[in-house]
Amino acid sequence: MGVSKSFRYGLFHEEYKKQPGSVWIMKPIGKAQGKGIFLFNKLSQISEWRKDHKWKADSPQAETYIVQRYIENPYLIGGKKFDLRIYVMVTSYNPLTVYLYRSGFGRFSNERFSMRKDEIQNNFIHLTNVAIQKTNPEYQAGTGCKWSLRSLKLYLMSKHGPDAVNESFYEVL
């Protein structure tokens, strides 16, 4: 399971130069449903985006974005990318007391994962947001590209054993 670093723009420039050819993802803070998220592999694509979005850092309406190196070799199920929606309630920080809501779920992309350059902008491959996926002609409303957390864990346990899966889930939480 990979966790990607996030950077301020100046630091991002330095990191970008260290990893030529990498794919990056930009996400606006405070938006939902996959709005404003895009992948890129060239700095010129950010310049084009800034022009298209009339982005000005000193503008009171300027959105804050997070930039991360994209995980180019994610764990896939059935060749498709997925993420986890897990909800917790924190009732105390000292001592730390956290309750896990057991009805989380996994969200899947509709299309098989690919890092081909001509598919880098295909949100049906790279984003798992239901709002994006339900616009795909292949979307199945009955399942909604979702598995219950229980079903997902059972599948993973059948592939990797209960100890490995429980340890991975413990690390995530």
Tens digits of per-residue pLDDT, 33-83? 988 899 999 888 877 777 666 555 555 556 788 889 999 999 999 999 999
Report pLDDT for 55.
Answer: 55
pLDDT at 150 over 60: yes
Measured between alpha carbons, how far is 105 from 84 in angstroms, rounded to an integer? 6
Considering the domain architecture, whether residues 96 and 154 belong to the same structural domain is answered as yes
Q: How confident is the model at residue 1 (pLDDT cuts 50, 70, 90)?
A: very low
Q: How confident is the model at residue 2 (pLDDT cuts 50, 70, 90)?
A: very low
Last residue of a domain, one of 69, 92, 113: 69
Considering the domain architecture, whether residues 90 and 45 belong to the same structural domain is answered as no
Question: Of 173 and 95, which is predicted with more confidence?
Answer: 95
Considering the domain architecture, whether residues 104 and 131 belong to the same structural domain is answered as yes
CB contact at 8 A, 91 and 137: no
User: Picking from 114-118, 140-144, 160-164, which range would have the lowest pLDDT averaged per residue?
Assistant: 140-144
Q: Which domain holds residue 62?
A: 6-69
Considering the domain architecture, whether residues 14 and 50 belong to the same structural domain is answered as yes
Last residue of a domain, one of 69, 96, 116: 69
Measured between alpha carbons, how far is 160 from 158 in angstroms, rounded to an integer? 6
Residue 95, SS3 per DSSP: coil
Residue 74 located in a structural domain: no
